[in-house]
Every structure is written in C-alpha cells, then in structure tokens.
Amino acid sequence: MLSHRPLAALAAAVTVASGAALALSGCSAATPPTPVGTAVADAHTRVAVIGDSIEAGLGLDPTEAWPELLAVDRRWGLDNLSVSGAGFVSTGADGGTFATQVTAAIADKAQLVLIGASDNDLGTDTATVAAAMSAAVDRLHSALPHARIIGYDALSGAASDDDLAPLDAALKAAVAAEGGTWIDLGEPYRDQDGLVQADGEHPTVAGQHAIAAVALTALDGLVEARAASTATPAS
C-alpha cells in the first residue's frame, strides 16, 4: 500500500470516496509523501491528457488542474494537452480540436493517454461527435499500440447528466472498440458549495482536488482489478 496519498485527506473532507492507494506506476510502499505542487522527478510513466477547460484549470493556476495533481501524486511525466473550449468537434482557444491534442500525444510517445468527453460538443449532432471520437481513439491506438488508453465521462458544472449521457456513451464505445479502459468520474464538484467557481461551470481549487481524488480511486481500482485477474490461485 502506498503512503503517498496527499489527496486522500482532502477527498474525505469533501466527502469523496477514497480507495486503496495502489500506484498505477508501481511505486513502492517506501515512497515518501509528495506535497501537491512539488516538481516530479524521475517520472515513472509518460502521460498525455486530452481535455478541455476543466482539465486545463481555467480560472486557476495550471498547476492546480486535476491532471497536474495526479501527476505529482503518481510521479508521472505529464503533458497536459488540454485546451479551453476544445472538444472532439468544438474548436478550442488554440484553434484546434481534440484531434490536435491527439497529434501531440502521439508525438510525445505517451505510454498512458487519458481522454474525456466534453460538454463543449453539446449542440452538435451526436453521430458527428461519435465519428470524431472513434477517429481520435483509433488514431491513438494505431500510432501508440502499446499505450494504455483510458476514457472518462465529461466533467461539467452546468450541463446535466441527461445532456452528457449520449457523449459519454459514444466515447465509452469508441474506447472499448480499441481495447481501452473506461472510468466513471461522475460529477464530484457540481453543485457543491466551495467546489465550483462563480461561473457555475468550472471547479475551484478544492473542486479540482475533488476530481483528482475520484480519479485516483478509479485508477487504483483498475490496478487492483488487473492484479486480481493475473493473480495465481493458491495451491
């Protein structure tokens, strides 16, 4: 069991479930705690995150975004490619879509890619978004056949679960079709006092920590499930 879970205490404080502290990167039990915000040395895994303003930490210091918090906790070599306004079809602040971020993730030779649905794609025909999702995930898998692809649901403080469900389902199907894994992060900051900014959409620093805590638990669950599936039965 890992001792370096600086986000676990916060997870309890915001009533987010916390799970077993197994590292996705396989850190040892002797690993000392790493304070949030500490630079990551000797990163274990090259990770790319494809996302929008939630992952980019809009309104906050970029180091306060949840992918950055995970990178410190897990000692990842992170390239957070997320851009505000971007989606699979929606154009972001850099003039590109998630396809642009996919290109960068491939160039990085990422070993792990986290890719989420985005509420920026709401208002576009779901079939069009689904086709763009499939193309993006297929390109990732084709170019990085040994990388692990993990998809997750759209994070939003404003859009409803009903609105987001078709996008989440489409990305889940696209990820599964390429042998990837799906995690459900829910909406850990939506409608939570102190966790959402005044715009009603973006998480505060505490909200970003809440997302990170749920993501850590979900990733721990994947590690535990894989360990259980490969364990040799006792004789």
pLDDT digits (tens, 9 = 90+) for 161-213: 999 999 999 999 999 999 999 999 999 999 999 999 999 999 999 999 999 99
pLDDT at res. 229: 72
Sort strands 45-50 and 112-116 into parallel, antiparallel or unpaired: parallel
pLDDT at res. 188: 96
Confidence of residue 31 (pLDDT cuts 50, 70, 90): very low
Q: Residues of the chain with pLDDT > 70: what percent?
A: 79
Q: At what angle do helices 98-108 and 126-143 cross, to 10 degrees?
A: 10
- pTM of the entire predicted model: 0.81
pLDDT at res. 232: 57
Confidence of residue 58 (pLDDT cuts 50, 70, 90): very high
Q: Which residues of 133-155 are buried (b: 16+ CB within 10 A; e: fewer)?
A: bbebbebbbeebeebbbbbbbbb
Which of 178, 166, 205, 212 shows the shortest CA–CA distance to 74? 212
Which of 74, 70, 159 shows the shortest CA–CA distance to 121? 159
| CATH 3.40.50.1110 applies to domain 43-205 | yes
**CA dist., res. 141 & res. 112, Å (int):** 11
Which of 207, 188, 187 shows the shortest CA–CA distance to 197? 207
Confidence of residue 8 (pLDDT cuts 50, 70, 90): very low
Confidence of residue 224 (pLDDT cuts 50, 70, 90): confident
DSSP-derived secondary structure for 198-211: TTSSSB-HHHHHHH
**CA dist., res. 22 & res. 26, Å (int):** 7
Segment 94-117 mean pLDDT: 97
Per DSSP, helices labelled H in the chain are: 8-13, 53-56, 66-74, 98-108, 126-143, 161-177, 205-230
pLDDT at 34 over 80: no
Segment 222-232 mean pLDDT: 74
Q: Average pLDDT over the chain, rounded to whole?
A: 84
pLDDT at 42 over 90: no
